[in-house]
């Protein structure tokens, strides 16, 4: 795997706003159950934020709110200074049109736990699909970018393979390339290595680390503490729908502030 993944898409996004994500007082309910309780988080350009926490703490739900795969009931989330999923009318938030939401999602790459590659398309076709269909990039140009991305994630020879012919680790690297091909200014990783066999976790983490080093703004929900320690600028600990700690990794791993963080670390680092 060679470095400079982002070179394949012309470097980091030219977006200039300093705050990429600004979430303020986000409440989210599933029925009567409140999964997010006043979550606020700001992520600056180039920052790598790792969200950790026990299962059911709301971390996955929270990053799914950032590209409006989940609706929120209170608060607001801005990406690159624009309200996500909603627009304001007379001081009230109403859900935005499908077209506008789709337009905002172009700027936000997402990598899923279960890869979610399109099984009827080859690796290459998976990557060029959205640039061509959504951004209107000419096919030749999209293909060139896709090949460069595949090469940088170490899969140059797998362009014509179908997802079913790839290992989990390879599929997830294609999925990362697919998200990057849209030239996002923010990447969300939702437990990107949790569904992988242990021997394949490393190859995916390598790509994620490389992206982090190259200056991609990232929010990653993960249980990989090594990743957090190595490349995270901040570690955010969530528990029962709240952020209970937001600090630098060194501090978090050596001297966690709360008892719950200590207990969580004791369990996960065992």
Partner 1 sequence: MNFDWTEFWKYLFQPTNVYLHGLWLTLSLSVVSQSLGTLIGVAAALGTQSRFRAIRALVAFYTWLMRGTPLLVQIVFIYTALAAGGIFRFEDIDLGFVVIPGNIQAAIVALSLNEGAYMTEIIRAGILSVEHGQTEAAKSLGMTYFKYMRRIILPQAVRVIVPPLGNEFNAMLKNTTLVSVIGVPELLLATQMITSATFRVFELYTVVALYYLTLTTLWGFVQSWLERRFGEPSRGIAQNPGLIDSLRKMFTREPVR
158 binds partner 1 (CB under 8 A): no
CB atoms within 10 A of CB 157: 9
30 binds partner 1 (CB under 8 A): no
> Minimal distance in Å, beta carbon 122 to partner 1?
7
Question: Which is nearer to partner 1, 153 or 243 (by Cβ)?
Answer: 153
Token readout for 201 is 């976790």
Query: Phi/psi at 164 (nearest 5 deg)?
Result: -65, -20
Number of residues that bind partner 1 (CB under 8 A): 32
Choices 158-166, 191-199, 238-246, 254-262; region in contact with partner 1 by CB under 8 A: 158-166
CB atoms within 10 A of CB 267: 9
Residue from 58, 85, 163, 249 that binds partner 1 (CB under 8 A)? Answer: 163
222 binds partner 1 (CB under 8 A): no
71 binds partner 1 (CB under 8 A): no
179 binds partner 1 (CB under 8 A): yes
Rounded Cα–Cα distance for residues 52 and 103 (Å): 29
Task: Please name which of 217, 219, 195, 192 lies closest in space to residue 206, comparing C-alpha atoms.
Answer: 192
First CA to last CA across the chain, in angstroms?
A: 31
**Burial of 246 by CB count in 10 Å (0-12 exposed, 13-18 middle, 19+ buried)?**
middle
Residue from 25, 30, 102, 266 that binds partner 1 (CB under 8 A)? Answer: 102
Rounded Cα–Cα distance for residues 224 and 41 (Å): 21
195 binds partner 1 (CB under 8 A): no
Residue from 87, 103, 139, 262 that binds partner 1 (CB under 8 A)? Answer: 103
> ∠214-218-219 over CA atoms, to 5°?
155
89 binds partner 1 (CB under 8 A): no
Choices 13-21, 81-89, 113-121, 248-256; region in contact with partner 1 by CB under 8 A: 113-121
Residue from 71, 87, 114, 139 that binds partner 1 (CB under 8 A)? Answer: 114
E strand map for 114-241: 186-190, 218-221, 234-239
Residues that bind partner 1 (CB under 8 A): 67, 69, 98-99, 102-103, 105-106, 108-110, 112, 114, 116-120, 122, 129-130, 133-135, 162-165, 175, 178-179, 182
């Amino acid at each position: 795997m060679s470095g400079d993944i982002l070179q394949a898409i012309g470097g980091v996004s030219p977006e200039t706003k300093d705050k990429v994500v600004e979430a303020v007082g986000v409440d989210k309910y599933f029925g009567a159950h409140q999964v997010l309780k006043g979550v606020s988080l700001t992520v600056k350009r180039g920052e790598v934020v790792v969200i950790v926490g026990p299962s059911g703490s709301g971390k996955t739900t929270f990053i799914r709110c950032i590209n409006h795969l989940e609706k929120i009931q209170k608060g607001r989330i801005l990406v690159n200074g624009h309200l996500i999923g909603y627009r304001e009318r007379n001081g009230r938030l109403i859900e935005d049109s499908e077209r506008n939401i789709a337009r905002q999602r172009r700027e936000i790459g997402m990598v899923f736990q279960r890869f979610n590659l399109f099984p009827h398309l080859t690796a290459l076709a998976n990557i060029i699909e959205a640039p061509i269909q959504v951004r209107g990039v000419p096919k030749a140009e999209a293909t060139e970018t896709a090949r460069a991305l595949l090469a940088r994630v170490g899969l140059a020879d797998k362009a014509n393979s179908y997802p079913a012919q790839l290992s989990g680790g390879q599929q997830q690297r294609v999925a990362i390339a697919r998200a990057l091909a849209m030239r996002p200014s923010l990447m969300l990783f939702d437990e990107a290595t949790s569904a992988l066999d242990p021997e394949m976790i490393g190859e995916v983490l390598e790509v994620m680390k490389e992206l982090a080093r190259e200056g991609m703004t990232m929010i990653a929900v993960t249980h990989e503490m090594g990743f957090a320690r190595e490349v995270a600028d901040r570690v955010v600990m969530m528990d029962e729908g709240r952020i209970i700690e937001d600090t630098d990794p060194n501090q978090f791993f050596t001297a966690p502030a709360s008892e719950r963080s200590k207990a969580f670390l004791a369990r996960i680092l065992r």
